[in-house]
Structure 1
Amino acid sequence: MEVEKGISSCEKVGFSPWWSFFMTNLEKLHVKVKKTSGDDPRRILHSFKVGLTLTLVCIFYYVTPLFDGLGSSAMWAVLTVVVVMEYTAGATLCKGLNRAFATLLGGALGLGVHHIAELCGDKGEPVLIGIFIKKRYDYGVVIFILTFSLVAVSSFRVENIIPLAHQRLSTIALGVTTCLFISIFVFPVWAGEDLHNLTSTNLEKLANFLQGMEKKYFGGDLQDRSYFQSYKSVLNSKASEDVLVNLAKWEPGHGGFGFRHPWNQYIAIGAPTRRCAWIMDSLAGFITTLDKSATIIGSDPQPTEELHVKIRSACADMSSETAKALSDLASSIKSMSAPAAARYHVAAAEAAAERMKETIAENSAVAGIVHVATIGLLVVEITRSARDIVGAVEELARLAGFESNEAVNKAAVKPLADGESQQTINIFVE
């Protein structure tokens, strides 16, 4: 009875609605954190890394002996962590080093302006400082402007300007160094690895589309179109690739990626990959249009059944071989080894393309050949794009020094020893 009275009294003062609001938002936060950890657990680790970095830097503010050495300028180190700390190590290196060098350059020029302004006397000093600040503002370098303005303007009121510039540079260097240490050595997230995996995943998505075309569409199942969505994310991958390439160049050597790893070659791979995806998009759109107009391969009665079988068989072969080539390329990138059989699969796909072209040329006068031929020729264009991708990946393997597959081809078969089963084959790589 007393509990009920307590609850009712809380409701009267409005406590229950606020508690319900708090619990609802707490539950939403839990759902978001769970979803984020499921999508990419590294983002949860990144939040802990940011907290750890801020904690380490704040020690210089809260511990009296350390604070006495930096003074109130220690707050600049905290602000630097907030501005510089990024998700990937490359992004942190990029922003951190840019901020440090801009601070150094801006502080040095600020001291120079202070010295020149002193020579102009009390009346000319504020005017000259204002002119210099406006000139630097036109260049638009934010951190450079901030440090330059701080040192230059402070020199008008602060007699000893050298310690101010020194404290500014020291605290920025402290914040940047802490960010770089945590970002590189504590659960690092490398932009280079993300770029490497993105390139491999994009090729796998293209291969999945072609495998679906071979097994479903050209295999007779005209209703299942789930594979039509597999290539969609590849179409808009250029922006992500450009950002990751730029950040990867800032990163030190790590894993299988050396200091001079050919990051630009990933852009060379991405261009034909996206071109191939756009052709797939055209093919999927054309097939969808045919569905709406009820003119699907195999349902148009005008071309002969034999012609349908020949073209469908050639398209299935092209799709199968091209998918195998793309899968081999994706596997070679993922394992950082030279592609083994991609070029052979592309050659087989091109042979099927030539066979289909001959079939179309022989039956060009047959009514209804246009729809069938259009699909076939789009598959041919996909095969051509795959050939360009093979060349780009092989160039990456050469520049990056990927492991060669020649050792596999040199495998030797050892004769059976006495007592061994005849079904056992021992293979040794020389």
Structure 2
Amino acid sequence: MTNDKGVAKEVEWRIKVEDGPWKRAGVSCNMWTFITSLYFKVCKFFKKAWDIGVNDPRKFIHCLKVGIALTAVSLFYYLKPLYDGVGRNAMWAVMTVIVVFEYTAGATIYKSINRICGTTLAGLLAFGVHWVASRAGDQWEPIIVGVSLFLLASTATFSRFIPTIKARFDYGAMIFILTFCLVSVSGYRIDELFNMAQQRISTIIIGTSLCIIVSTTVRPVWAGLELYVLVTENLDKLANSLQGCVAQYFEAQTASEESNKKMMGYKCVLNSKATEESLANLARWEPAHGRFNFRHPWKQYLKIGATMRRCASCIDALIGCIHSENKSSNDIRKIMSKTSIQVGDISANVLRELAITITSMTKSNKLDILVIEMNSAAQELQNLLKSYPNTQKNDDAKMEIPIMDIIQVVTMVSLLTEIVARVEDIVNCVEELSNLGKYKPAMSKCDKSKQHSTDSKISPEQQNEEEAIVKTLQVV
């Protein structure tokens, strides 16, 4: 009986129900959910793309410029007179536009010149090798072509490891290898090699010339101007970070989200090395534009960027002290706060004045005074640290100062002193830039009033012309 009861308890009842409308409704519901989620993802993607274009309309304009260049070069296929001049090699002009056209004018000119030089040099060498090999006979021809291909390709590949060539002619070396291999291998079975090389070089020259014309005339984006704006913005970010972190440490206040964002601006300075080097290399290829001459000292901007990164590394260490678990006492902060905040404010003002100097391309009248004030404030902070035990109000009993408080204060003072020294290095680099760029002295208030009085005598037509020039410079 007990076994029968156990078996009865273990029996499970199952009822099979045929698949009805509920399951079909579930499938349709899943399909509808998938379609709606896909729709919202596509809308989100297009919204992000639209925001990118709205934030920087030059990217929209760049797309239009590429379309203009491709449409113009495709006429060599559609118009019979042009097609008869270049033949089937017109495709090389289209490929050249696709490969060469870049966002900045400097990058387009760099790739265009490298492509022309690499293609021309490789074509001439390939033609010379083919001529020598054809004179050597049928037995030696493939050997000469193969050996020359091996030697020249290996040499050109090794040259890409040389820093100077890698910085300026890396793309040209790659095009040289590609063109030499194509012409050498295809020319082994083609009798009219010279005509083929001539047509190919001419189509590449047509494509690159069209890219340079469109890139430099239709709302150009200059790499030099991008570098110029990047350096000035980094100076402002560095000033905001320095001023914000010193104030947050000594005032002991909770920073807002906006102030935290400004305080972290030094990270953009630390991460801008690759961008600065790339823009400086591309700016050398650009013609004179705006306020920049053909021989503008672009290398000096790299020196300024390097000194800014050294200063930003000190600010990074300063922010590490802010987030440290070992905090100094409030008494020490009160004693050091006024002078330390003064050092941070004056140093930030020096950096902002340097940004104004680079932006206006004039030598500042306030810079020397601000540097003197910065050095005197730093010296006052060091003297205050040396005389710190004598500043205690309780003279009757000698109070013991915790060692961690002393370490925190000494660290902060030494970092602020080092920041002052590195800000002075930035000042020296900017002064060297002003000398190399031949900056004019800044106008005083008296000079500005005189200029305003003379400008009032200018005819309205001349004023309209000057306003038009200013607007074009702002657009550039």
- Go from structure 1 to structure 2 and tell me whether the alpha carbon gap of 1:158 and 1:19 turns closer, same or farther (over 3 Å shift): farther
Shift of 1:339: 2.6
8 Å Cα contact 1:219/1:316 also seen in 2:
no
Identify the residue that residue 433 of structure 2 maps to in structure 1.
396
Question: Quick one: distance in 1 between partners of 2:117 and 2:448?
Answer: 58
SS in 1 for 2:426: helix
Question: Which one has the largest radius of gyration?
Answer: 2
Question: Quick one: distance in 2 between partners of 1:309 and 1:19?
Answer: 62
Identify the residue that residue 422 of structure 2 maps to in structure 1.
385
Normalising by structure 1, what TM-score?
0.85
Match of 1:131 among 147, 163, 166: 147
Question: Quick one: distance in 2 between partners of 1:37 and 1:216?
Answer: 37
SS in 2 for 1:397: helix
- Go from structure 1 to structure 2 and tell me whether the alpha carbon gap of 1:115 and 1:21 turns closer, same or farther (over 3 Å shift): farther
Shift of 1:114: 1.1
Question: Quick one: distance in 2 between partners of 1:232 and 1:393?
Answer: 21
- Go from structure 1 to structure 2 and tell me whether the alpha carbon gap of 1:411 and 1:106 turns closer, same or farther (over 3 Å shift): closer
Q: Within the alignment, does 1:313 sit opposite 2:338 as a pair?
A: yes
Identify the residue that residue 97 of structure 1 maps to in structure 2.
113
Q: Within the alignment, does 1:360 sit opposite 2:385 as a pair?
A: yes
- Go from structure 1 to structure 2 and tell me whether the alpha carbon gap of 1:315 and 1:36 turns closer, same or farther (over 3 Å shift): same
CA-to-partner distance for each residue in 1:60-118, whole Å, 9 max, x for gaps? 11222211111110000111111111111111111110000111111111110111011
- Go from structure 1 to structure 2 and tell me whether the alpha carbon gap of 1:16 and 1:127 turns closer, same or farther (over 3 Å shift): farther
Report the AA paired with residue 346 of structure 2. Answer: E
Question: Quick one: distance in 2 between partners of 1:245 and 1:64?
Answer: 43
Q: Within the alignment, does 1:202 sit opposite 2:239 as a pair?
A: no
Identify the residue that residue 8 of structure 1 maps to in structure 2.
none
Shift of 1:429: 9.2
Report the AA paired with residue 278 of structure 2. Answer: V
Tell which deviates more after alignment, 259-268 or 57-66: 57-66
Question: Quick one: distance in 1 between partners of 2:448 and 2:291?
Answer: 29
For residues 162-241 of structure 1, the aligned pairs below 5 Å read 162-213=194-245, 215-224=247-256, 226=260, 227-241=262-276
Q: Which runs of 5+ in 1 are unaligned?
A: 1-10, 299-304, 415-425
Tell which deviates more after alignment, 49-58 or 153-162: 153-162
CA-to-partner distance for each residue in 1:153-179, whole Å, 9 max, x for gaps? 233221121110111100110110011
Question: Quick one: distance in 2 between partners of 1:223 and 1:42?
Answer: 35
8 Å Cα contact 1:100/1:172 also seen in 2:
yes
CA RMSD of aligned residues (A): 2.8
Normalising by structure 2, what TM-score?
0.77
Tell which deviates more after alignment, 18-27 or 320-329: 18-27
Q: Which runs of 5+ in 2 are unaligned?
A: 1-26, 158-172, 391-399, 456-476
SS in 1 for 2:440: coil
Identify the residue that residue 70 of structure 2 maps to in structure 1.
54
Shift of 1:319: 0.7
CA-to-partner distance for each residue in 1:371-424, whole Å, 9 max, x for gaps? 12321221121111111111111111111122311x31654989xxxxxxxxxx
CA-to-partner distance for each residue in 1:170-204, whole Å, 9 max, x for gaps? 01101100111111111111000010001000000
8 Å Cα contact 1:408/1:429 also seen in 2:
no
SS in 1 for 2:190: coil
Question: Quick one: distance in 2 between partners of 1:176 and 1:254?
Answer: 20
Identify the residue that residue 297 of structure 2 maps to in structure 1.
262
Question: Quick one: distance in 2 between partners of 1:409 and 1:356?
Answer: 34
Question: Quick one: distance in 2 between partners of 1:357 and 1:110?
Answer: 70
CA-to-partner distance for each residue in 1:44-74, whole Å, 9 max, x for gaps? 2111111111111111112222111111100
Question: Quick one: distance in 1 between partners of 2:53 and 2:377?
Answer: 46
For residues 133-148 of structure 1, the aligned pairs below 5 Å read 133-138=149-154, 139-140=156-157, 141-148=173-180
- Go from structure 1 to structure 2 and tell me whether the alpha carbon gap of 1:55 and 1:427 turns closer, same or farther (over 3 Å shift): closer
Identify the residue that residue 3 of structure 1 maps to in structure 2.
none
Report the AA paired with residue 119 of structure 1. Answer: R
Question: Quick one: distance in 2 between partners of 1:25 and 1:58?
Answer: 36
Identify the residue that residue 372 of structure 1 maps to in structure 2.
409
8 Å Cα contact 1:328/1:340 also seen in 2:
no
SS in 1 for 2:139: helix
Runs of 4+ in 1 over 6 A off after TM superposition: 15-22, 426-430
Report the AA paired with residue 242 of structure 2. Answer: L
- Go from structure 1 to structure 2 and tell me whether the alpha carbon gap of 1:258 and 1:297 turns closer, same or farther (over 3 Å shift): farther
Q: Within the alignment, does 1:112 sit opposite 2:128 as a pair?
A: yes
8 Å Cα contact 1:90/1:251 also seen in 2:
yes
